[in-house]
Amino acid sequence: MTKRKLNNLREGIENLPPNPVVLVTVADNIMTAAAFHSYSKNPPCLMVGILPEQFTLELIRREKEFGINIPTADQIETCLTCGTVSGRDADKYEKTKLTPGSSDTISSSLIEECPLNYECTLVHEVDFPGNLQWIIGEVKAVHIDDSYKRDRALLYWGREFYNVGTLIDKW
């Protein structure tokens, strides 16, 4: 295998594989996030990376909570809208026709049309400088549509959206 060394390290980051996109809800706003991962199983925590100037970060710091909503691959238009319009300028529930569903433990809405929703309280901000601010939320409640399977998720990186392929092995 012949490899070349990249001169631009940022290009290196952009060449990473795709990973699950999520919709972050806080107060009455929705934001698409491509920077998301679970942080811990015990305690159950999720983390999301947000640009410092984004309205969503301001709202999460104010509300000390957020929802993580897992979209399916057929919700790509919704993800594009929620990733390109600012909540400072528009009501994204109205724009996307999504339904703001109620939560059990937080005040922010969850997205009814997403088959998997997590209610989180803000517990930490990662203290290392980068272009994203990573925040960690402790999961307080989870709601799942039992017909949901993880191969329905939407993946994204480097300006490309993919769906999940086939199950190739179990461990």
Tokens of 62: 């104010």
Alpha helices in 33-156, H assignment, sequence order: 55-63, 76-84, 92-96
Asked if 132 interacts with a second copy (CB under 8 A), we say: yes
98 binds a second copy (CB under 8 A): no
Our finding on whether 115 is near a second copy (CB under 8 A) is: yes
Give least dist CB 64 to a second copy, A: 15
**Binders of a second copy among 33-72, rule CB under 8 A?**
35-46, 49, 70
Give the Cα-Cα-Cα angle 111, 104, 98 (nearest 5 degrees): 15
Tell whether residue 88 is a contact of a second copy (CB under 8 A).
no
Q: Which of 56, 103 has the CB closer to a second copy? A: 103
By CB under 8 A, tell whether 10 contacts a second copy.
yes
Q: Which helix (H) or strand (E) holds 12?
A: helix 9-14
18 contributes a contact to a second copy by CB under 8 A: yes
| Residue 127 binding a second copy, by CB under 8 A | yes
Round to whole Å and give the CA distance between 171 and 78: 33
Does position 121 interact with a second copy (CB under 8 A)? The reply is no
Residue 159 zone, left/alpha/beta (φ > 0; ψ -120 to 50; rest): left
Query: Could you say whether residue 106 binds a second copy (CB under 8 A)?
Result: no
Determine the interface stretch with a second copy among 23-31, 57-65, 90-98, 111-119 (rule: CB under 8 A). Answer: 111-119
Count of residues that bind a second copy according to CB under 8 A: 83
Rounded distance, CA 119 to CA 46, Å?
Answer: 10
Min dist CB 54 to a second copy, Å, is 15
Contact assessment for residue 139 and residue 45, using Cβ atoms and an 8 Å cutoff = yes
